[in-house]
């Protein structure tokens, strides 16, 4: 039977367990957007209205820099994480000495990184990951040794499994080989502590809508030692000539407000989300011992659980959850009406029978324990259908 608290909650609204796809907007971000919408000035104009708009942009730049321990002058605003990644993947970047001429990326990167940016196909190599979804440091070192300097791109936390990558160790290998390190920090922002300098990253991509800000705005953060970054969009002097076009003042203002709100409560929020993760995974395994929690053996984001079982079909499971009033996502990507196995799970060596059933649950700062309880109670019924005939996981 459903608990009374869960009944009361779900009677009011649907339950949202797809925060890794996008988050609800924070009240602080909404308020900042409304304030910005009331301004008429172009942030490049020197009159009072322009200066007021510029002030909002620079306040947000400072907030983003503070959240990741970077320098505000080195924050470049973009249209989102995808553009930030594309801007970072630039041949000719240099940290010291010789410029990079090739790209090495982990096999579990976001598609915007896997596309290779402005590197030629023949200049791209892929570093494998372990069965737990963590970059293989020994293989990465082999790909760097005795070769020209490379730009290496490794995400901080995977969007599907939640697995956190050993970025500091990666940075040590990359810099020892005179390379440059780009880190996609989109999924990690607001969920775990990010200190740009301590990570050893040279470039860091971020996105507003993963932390409670507006969609359509992101940032690329640079270290003081990086040179050779060529703009993707030319034709204006905005962002110190690194990204032409009038700044999205409304979106940028929301980004600054959202990241400040997240930073203020991050430790407490992470602790609460971790407790929900423990309750959720314990409950899933109690109800269905045959399921597998992907990447459970390594450090993960506190808000992400990817689970599967042989015999389960992810697309069927997502629809079944949706009909029960819950938004979840699949470990597979749909393209042109065809469901293809997740490249992340494929890179991890997850058997196809297991990969095709992977379901991702992700939550956030105001997810209630009653919502987790409701999902578990619904799973008791759904599991009987979705896991019918499933074999025990070895």
Provide CB contacts within 8 A for 74, sequence distance 6+. 65, 221, 222, 223, 224
Contact 298, 133 (CB under 8 A): yes
Dig out the tokens for 140 from the structure.
């990465």
How many Å is the Cα radius of gyration of the chain?
22
Dig out the tokens for 246 from the structure.
């009038």
Contact 128, 347 (CB under 8 A): yes
Residue 334 designated active-site: yes
Among 40, 145, 323, 334, the active-site one is 334
Placement of tokens 């002058």 in the chain:
73
Contact 192, 165 (CB under 8 A): no
Provide CB contacts within 8 A for 384, sequence distance 6+. none
State how far Cα 23 lies from the chain centre: 11
> Counting beta carbons within 10 angstroms of the beta carbon of residue 35, is it exposed (0 to 12), middle (13 to 18) or buried (19 or more)?
middle
Q: What angle do CA 222, 206, 300 make, to 5 degrees?
A: 115
Q: Give the span between the Cα atoms of 112 and 89, in whole angstroms.
A: 10
List, by residue number, the catalytic residues. 334
């Amino acid at each position: 039977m459903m608990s009374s608290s869960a009944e009361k909650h779900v009677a009011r609204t649907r339950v949202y367990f797809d925060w890794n796809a996008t988050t609800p907007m924070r009240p602080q971000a909404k308020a900042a957007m409304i304030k910005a919408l009331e301004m008429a000035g172009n942030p490049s104009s020197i009159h009072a209205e322009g200066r007021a708009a510029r002030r909002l942009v620079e306040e947000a730049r400072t907030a983003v820099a503070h959240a990741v321990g970077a320098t505000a002058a080195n924050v470049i605003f973009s249209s989102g994480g995808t553009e930030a990644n594309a801007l970072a993947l630039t041949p000719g970047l240099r940290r010291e000495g010789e410029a990079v001429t090739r790209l090495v990326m982990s096999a579990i990167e976001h598609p915007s990184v896997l596309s290779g940016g402005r590197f030629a196909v023949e200049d791209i190599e892929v570093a494998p990951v372990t069965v737990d979804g963590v970059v293989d440091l020994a293989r990465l070192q082999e790909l760097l040794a005795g070769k020209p300097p490379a730009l290496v791109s490794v995400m901080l936390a995977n969007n599907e499994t939640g697995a956190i990558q050993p970025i500091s160790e990666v940075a040590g290998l990359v810099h020892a080989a005179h390379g440059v390190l780009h880190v996609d920090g989109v999924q990690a922002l607001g969920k775990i502590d990010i200190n740009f300098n301590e990570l050893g990253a040279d470039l860091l991509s971020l996105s507003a809508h993963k932390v409670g800000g507006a969609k359509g705005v992101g940032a690329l953060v640079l270290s003081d030692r990086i040179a050779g970054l060529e703009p993707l969009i030319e034709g204006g002097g905005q962002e110190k000539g690194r990204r032409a076009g009038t700044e999205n003042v409304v979106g940028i203002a929301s980004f600054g407000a959202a990241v400040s709100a997240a930073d203020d409560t991050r430790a407490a929020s992470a602790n609460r989300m971790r407790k929900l993760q423990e309750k959720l995974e314990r409950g899933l395994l109690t109800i269905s011992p045959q399921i597998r929690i992907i990447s459970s053996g390594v450090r993960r984001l506190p808000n992400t659980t990817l689970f599967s079982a042989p015999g389960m079909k992810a697309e069927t499971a997502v629809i079944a959850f949706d009909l029960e009033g819950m938004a979840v996502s699949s470990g597979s990507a749909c393209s042109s009406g065809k469901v293809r196995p997740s490249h992340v799970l494929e890179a991890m060596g997850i058997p196809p029978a297991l990969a095709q059933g992977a379901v991702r649950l992700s939550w956030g700062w105001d997810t209630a324990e009653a919502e987790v309880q409701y999902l578990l109670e619904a799973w008791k019924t759904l599991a009987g259908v979705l896991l019918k005939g499933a074999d025990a996981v070895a």
